[in-house]
Structure 1
Amino acid sequence: MWRGWTLTVKRWKAGNVGPKLTEAFVPMAFAPGDACQFDWSQEQVELGGIVQTIKVAHFRMAYSRQMFVAAYPRETQEMVLDAHNRAFAFFGGVPARLIYDNLKTVVDTVYTGKERQFNRRFLTLANHYLFEPVACTPASGWEKGQVENQVGNVREWLFTPLARFACFAALNDWLATRCRELAQRRHPAQSQRTIADCFAEEQPLLRPVTAHFDGYVEQMMRVSSTCLVRVDRNRYSVPASAAGQAVSVRATADQIRIVAQGEIIAAHARLFGREQLICDPWHYLPVLDKKPGALRNGAPFVSWDLPKSIQAVRDRILKQPKGDRAFVELLMMAGEAGLDALTVACELTLEGGVVNASVVMNELRRLISPNLPEAVNNVPDGITLKTEPLANCQRYDHLLGARNVH
């Protein structure tokens, strides 16, 4: 009996349900300078001859529709911080609010309704630039629909066909130029004006950027016995004096900085491959002083791209007895004088034809020693010679003859 009732209800619903309603939305309106929307997209490009997947940060001013995009290897927090620095520099100011999805790099915890616990480092950025971060309701992308649509348009306008550039810097310069060019299109809601015209109205209402935000992400690490710290599967060198110590490693979108006792002791360009070794040979000079044999096979020195004159002198000296120690002493001295001074000293030594560590060190000392001031003789007028004596070398012959007699 219940089965029969169920079938009857289903037939009734099938015959009485009207056409399916289309989901409805509320049109959005924004005041000039009020809001900017943010999102990420994933694109394909060719960088340095290699096709790879990259992340693109999208910004869109909600009133003027002025957009800005920047490309990165990934969408980690330091990339988010750097993207905001670039966007505010491009816009020439900061809007009152920025609207986001609930990104893990922005939002730590999503509570009921609009309440959010924002990431502490991200809040530091927001407090620095004095904008209000706003997180969308989960699964409500329409709250930032402009930038959602922009993602698809940018893929068609800028990444189809495949974009080809030498590096991220060249790609980002081109993207910024294209954002300015695309602003010459008609504004979608104000058809008599261009996006650039509307942005010219909006830009003076943005909060001026008074100071650049240092967008690093920090973590504490201990320097290994080989004077290295590991960041994102790559290893970077640190001065030997910090071996075994705890240091602060600050990663930005393009740099790794190592800080100890409040001072930067090392800085490297950031790489995004895997298992790469990035060494500054000067960090290892104190180790060479105790272990000069490491000069021949030590990884920092094997790949050291020295000037040709230094390479030529090094190859000659290493073939001489105790050459390792002698060349290390030259490097120690160059650590204070500078590599340019050592380069000139090696060039002078090669021109002279006698190549050994002593000659190079003598040339180096002559280059770096201060020029002595000319002697000033303050001789009283009463004892000044009226007739200066003439040089007479025959006197030495007379002395030599006298010595031979004895």
Structure 2
Amino acid sequence: MHINDPGRIIRDAAERLAPALVAIRRDIHAHPELAFEETRTAGIVAAELARLGIAHRTGIGRTGVVGTIEGGRPGPTLAIRADMDALPIAEETGLPFASTVAGKMHACGHDIHTATLLGVAAVLRDIAPMLAGRVLLVFQPAEEVLEGAAAMIADGAGKGIDLALGFHNQPDLPVGRFGFARGACLAASDRFDLGIRGRSGHAAHPYAAVDPIVAAAAFVAQVQTVVSREIRPVHPAVVTVGALQAGTTYNIIPERAHLKGTVRTLHQAARDTAEAAIRRLAEGLEATMRVRCTLDYQRKVPPLVNDDRVLEPVLSAVRAQFGEVLEEGEPSMGAEDFAEFAALAPAFQLRIGSGAPGRDDRLHNADYQPDEGCIPLGVQALGRAALELLS
């Protein structure tokens, strides 16, 4: 072992582990499991941790797994988190290891994440005497529905965490590059369901009915003013109505309409303003459109805020391991429930380039094909980051 060269130890281990990690990734990819269904995936994780001699607990947050590696000296507790769930998408890649489960696919790379963290587990086990503190390996279910992190924390997975490190594959970065954003990097995600009840009637006699479709259309138009006229322009926000269901045929005014929408914000003030505005607009429909409204507004996850106390050491570790491979990016209005762990302790989410040469991939795409070369590189980056944070 190259005792005085931890970067080389980590690199050699990651390269040695790469074929086995790719095989694990392909196995998980072929057998995708949706939120809180990840029993097979969790079984693979538990079996690998057991093979490595790493103490672990299963059934955390229903289907989550937490492994523990004790360092050689006292120090803080670092949680490194990977998500495990797939999406309800019919795969169209044609790969030999494509999904064998109809209508389910790893189209966001959580199979990549799971395999990567297993590689990190193997590396950190071997260099544990060099660590000052403890590492929690958090294999989380149900990220896609933004409920798995909260479920694991409710089962005690967040207890005693001093630092948290997350990561996500990034197809708009080529393999070998890494990205980051400072401060709030991912948005709070809230959602609303608005039920509108009118009075059904014949389409030829609208005066004898109360039309919920017209009321719904008015709400859709009005809700666009929340961002443009009520939230400060320097506070990014998105309000989107993603579904509107009403009626069955040409000549009947229906009794009900139902809308579903999402609200994304990076700042607490904007989050509060958006919710208050949507509630006021729903109440206004009752007065102006003669309908009755039922609004169910749910706050899901807070913004994910990258803390410099974790970000800077991780960037230093990546530079030490690879050289100048970092790209500073912008915040995204996407959401990620790693934010629940970041609310407990200083945290940072690293973006790991997964773009394959000649492809223009996007997450949540039925033809998504990340470059598996990102797995051993992710192992190196995260392993070196853990060493830096627990030095």
TM-score under structure 1 length normalisation: 0.21
Q: TM-score normalised to the size of structure 2? A: 0.22
The structure whose residues are more often strand, as a share, is 2
